[in-house]
């Protein structure tokens, strides 16, 4: 039974252990729990502040992203409009240059045709003057001498051979 006495419950010891535990708890609470709770509260406040700042930064970043996307979209639209306007201006200028070139070419063709017609008229006039001069000289030669059939044929052949020859005109 001695073995059982070792396992016996002593109420006095239990009460002393409880009193010691209560005193130890009060001492720890007074000196340690206040400081630990203060550190825990400060840490919790820092974490809450950090989360609040992170949420605020996230909201600001999303707002900036939205603004950036709007600006980017506006810039794309503006650049497309600038390219469209530049293309239209270039096409208008090209059409104007082509129109001016066609008008100038038409004017040049008209003037060239007019010059050709004037030259043709002048050449015809000169030819008429030469032919009439030659006819007058022939008439003079015919009048100056009496012509028989043989002389008449020789004069016509001479005229045909020397139509443009100045040496014949001076005979």
4-60 tens-digit pLDDT: 566 677 889 999 999 999 999 999 888 888 788 889 999 999 999 999 999 999 999
- For residue 171, what pLDDT band results from cuts at 50, 70 and 90? very low
pTM of the predicted model, to two decimals? 0.40
Lookup: tokens for 16: 């002393």
Does residue 151 contact residue 145 with C-beta atoms inside 8 Å?
Answer: yes
Locate 96 and state its tokens.
């104007």
**Segments of the chain assigned E as strands:** none
Rounded Cα distance, 12 and 28, in Å: 24
Structure tokens at 37: 């709770």
Q: Give the residue-averaged pLDDT of 88-108.
A: 93
Query: Average pLDDT for residues 81-90, to the nearest whole number?
Result: 94
- Give the pLDDT of residue 132: 74
According to DSSP, residue 33 is labeled I
């Amino acid at each position: 039974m001695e073995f059982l006495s070792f396992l016996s419950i002593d109420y006095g010891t239990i009460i002393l252990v409880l009193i010691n535990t209560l005193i130890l708890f009060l001492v720890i609470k007074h000196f340690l729990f206040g400081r630990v709770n203060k550190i825990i509260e400060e840490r919790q406040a820092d974490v809450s502040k950090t989360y609040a700042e992170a949420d605020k930064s996230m909201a600001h970043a999303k707002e900036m992203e939205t603004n950036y996307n709007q600006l980017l979209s506006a810039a794309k639209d503006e650049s497309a409009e600038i390219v469209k306007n530049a293309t239209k201006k270039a096409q208008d200028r090209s059409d104007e240059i082509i129109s001016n070139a066609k008008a100038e070419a038409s004017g040049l063709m008209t003037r060239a045709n007019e010059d050709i017609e004037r030259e043709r008229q002048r050449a015809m006039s000169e030819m008429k003057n030469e032919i009439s001069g030659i006819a007058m000289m022939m008439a003079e030669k015919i009048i100056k001498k009496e012509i028989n059939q043989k002389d008449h044929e020789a004069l016509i052949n001479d005229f045909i051979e020397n139509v443009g020859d100045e040496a014949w005109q001076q005979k």
